[in-house]
Amino acid sequence: MRWVAAAVQTALFVAAAPLLAGWIKRVKCHMQNRAAPSLLQPYRDLAKLFRKEIVLAENASWLFRTAPYVVFGAFVLAAAVVPLVAVHLPTAAIADVIVLVGFFALARFFQALAGLDIGTAFGGMGSSREMTVASLAEPAMLMAVFTLAMVASTTNLSVAIEHNLDAGLVLRPSFLFALLGLAMVAIAETGRIPVDNPATHLELTMLHEAMVLEYSGRHLALVEWAGQIKLMIYAVLIANIFFPWGIAQDFAPLALGVGMVAVAAKLAALGIALVVWETVIAKMRLFRVPQFLGFAFLLALLGMLTQVILETG
């Protein structure tokens, strides 16, 4: 029963990811006085790509063809261990939050290699920039996560969320710092403004896009979908760790229903916050990104030190 629940939740996670992307796009269009596409447009795009023929560059090796599957698989695996609607799913014990970061790193590794595989300058540039940004973002993310882990004395997501629920509404300075740090990392890692622009194909501004330029058809669909799952994972992490209210602690239908509604509302709100942020801020140059991420790292470290020095006394 619990394994079934876990499988259903994972399927829900993967299926809902394009919806979140569609929601963000729609809100953004409204914000910028543009005609908005349907909420379901991302699904239509994916369906179209899945039907299309794959065109491979002559120099593409097996690694280029395998990478989309590895990337997609890694994010599905990551989605399986993040509590979305309910805590205490058996899959949550497979991997704690450090392993989760490891899954992200694995996906990134293959994506960056695929970027180098064709031998175009764009691909190499994308890989190089992605690995540079990631090498700064990953430690910041881990620091934010460690703050949480030290507060709840666990790296198991379910246990940590439950700990936060039990603790009730206490304003912890360490949490505030960690939340800010994690949010900044999430922006960098999911390729949003100001670090990257998800809607661009201009070589000066692209990071993530440059790596996947050569993909087509089903491969491109998998990569795009994986990107949407990644965005959703970060959103769910922020929503459920820092605002855990509403998440189901048992598998009663009522609790699950409440959990579903709660997480949908939280994600919708987060989506709006992201759009507001992206609308008011401008994209920055690549070499400003280290400062941005350095700040995120500093915030996360501050959170950790506040926790370690002040809160445990």
Partner 1 sequence: MSALDLAYAAVLAAVVSGLIPTLADARRRYVGAAAFALLGAAGALAAAAGAWTLIGDSVLTDRLALGLPWLKWHARLDAVGGFFSVIVGLVVLAASVYGPTYVREFERGPQPPLVLHLFTGFFVAGMLLVLIADDAFSFMVAWELMSVSSYFLVTFQHQNAANRRAGFLYLLMAHVGALGILLGFGVLAGFGGSFTFEAMRAAGLSSTWASIAFALALFGFGMKAGMVPVHAWLPEAHPVAPSHISALMSGVMLKVAIYGFVRFTFDLIGDIQWQWGVAVLVIGAASALLGVLYALMQNDLKRLLAYSSVENVGIILIALGLSMIFLGTGHRNLGAIGLVAALYHALNHAMFKGLLFLGAGAVLFRTHERDLEHLGGLIHRMPATAALFLIGSIAIAGLPPLNGFVSEWLTFQTALQAGSLESGVLRSVLPIAAAVLALTAALGAAAFVKVYGVAFLGKARGRHAARAREVPRGMLLGMGLLAALCVAFGVLPTAVISIMDPIPQLLVGRGLPSATAEGWIWLTPVSPRVASYSAPLVLLAIAVSYLIGRLVKLREPKPRRTHAWDCGFGALNSRMQYTSTAFAMPIRRVFGPVWKVNEQIEVTRPANAPTSVASVKHQLHVEDWSWNALYEPVGRIVLAAARRVGRIQTGSIRAYLVYSFLTLLFLLWVVT
Residues 66-105 that bind partner 1 (CB under 8 A): 69, 73, 76-77, 80, 93-96, 98-99, 102-103, 105
**Residue 82 · residue 237 · CB < 8 Å:** yes
Q: How far is the CB of 64 from partner 1 (least distance, A)?
A: 8
Give me the helix-helix angle, 121-152 and 173-189, nearest 10°. 160
Q: Does 109 help bind partner 1 (rule: CB under 8 A)?
A: yes
Q: How far is the CB of 164 from partner 1 (least distance, A)?
A: 15
**Residue 283 · residue 194 · CB < 8 Å:** yes
Two tokens, residue 109: 């590794």
The site for partner 1, by CB under 8 A, has a size of 79
Q: Does 177 help bind partner 1 (rule: CB under 8 A)?
A: no
Q: Does 118 help bind partner 1 (rule: CB under 8 A)?
A: yes
Q: In this chain, which of 12, 106, 176, 268 binds partner 1, going by CB under 8 A? A: 106
Residue with tokens 């370690």: 308
Residues 6+ positions from 19 with CB-CB distance below 8 Å: 39, 40, 42, 43
Q: Does 201 help bind partner 1 (rule: CB under 8 A)?
A: yes
Q: Does 180 help bind partner 1 (rule: CB under 8 A)?
A: no
Selected range binding partner 1 among 26-34, 126-134, 185-193, 265-273, rule: CB under 8 A? 126-134
Closer CB to partner 1, 69 or 295, in the complex: 69
Q: Which of 125, 301, 295 lies closest to 211, judged by CA? A: 125
166: amino acid identity, one letter: D
86 bridge partner residues: 248
Q: Does 175 help bind partner 1 (rule: CB under 8 A)?
A: no
Q: How far is the CB of 92 from partner 1 (least distance, A)?
A: 9
Residues 6+ positions from 42 with CB-CB distance below 8 Å: 18, 19, 21, 22, 25, 228
Q: Does 189 help bind partner 1 (rule: CB under 8 A)?
A: no
Q: Which of 283, 121, 107 lies closest to 205, judged by CA? A: 283
Selected range binding partner 1 among 122-130, 238-246, 247-255, 270-278, rule: CB under 8 A? 122-130
Q: Does 122 help bind partner 1 (rule: CB under 8 A)?
A: yes
Q: How far is the CB of 29 from partner 1 (least distance, A)?
A: 26
Separation between Cα atoms, residue 159 and residue 154, nearest integer Å: 7
First-residue to last-residue Cα distance in the chain: 43
Q: How far is the CB of 280 from partner 1 (least distance, A)?
A: 27
Burial of 166 (0-12, 13-18, 19+ CB in 10 A): exposed
Q: In this chain, which of 113, 235, 238, 248 binds partner 1, going by CB under 8 A? A: 113
Q: How far is the CB of 254 from partner 1 (least distance, A)?
A: 27
Q: Which of 311, 109, 151 lies closest to 241, judged by CA? A: 151
**Residue 197 · residue 205 · CB < 8 Å:** yes
300: amino acid identity, one letter: A
Closer CB to partner 1, 80 or 263, in the complex: 80
Closer CB to partner 1, 159 or 274, in the complex: 159
Q: Residues 38 to 67: which contact partner 1 by CB under 8 A? A: 53-63, 65
Q: How far is the CB of 305 from partner 1 (least distance, A)?
A: 5
Q: Residues 134 to 163: which contact partner 1 by CB under 8 A? A: 134-139, 142-143, 146, 149-150, 153-156, 159
Q: Residues 220 to 279: which contact partner 1 by CB under 8 A? A: none
Q: How far is the CB of 264 from partner 1 (least distance, A)?
A: 27
248 bridge partner residues: 86
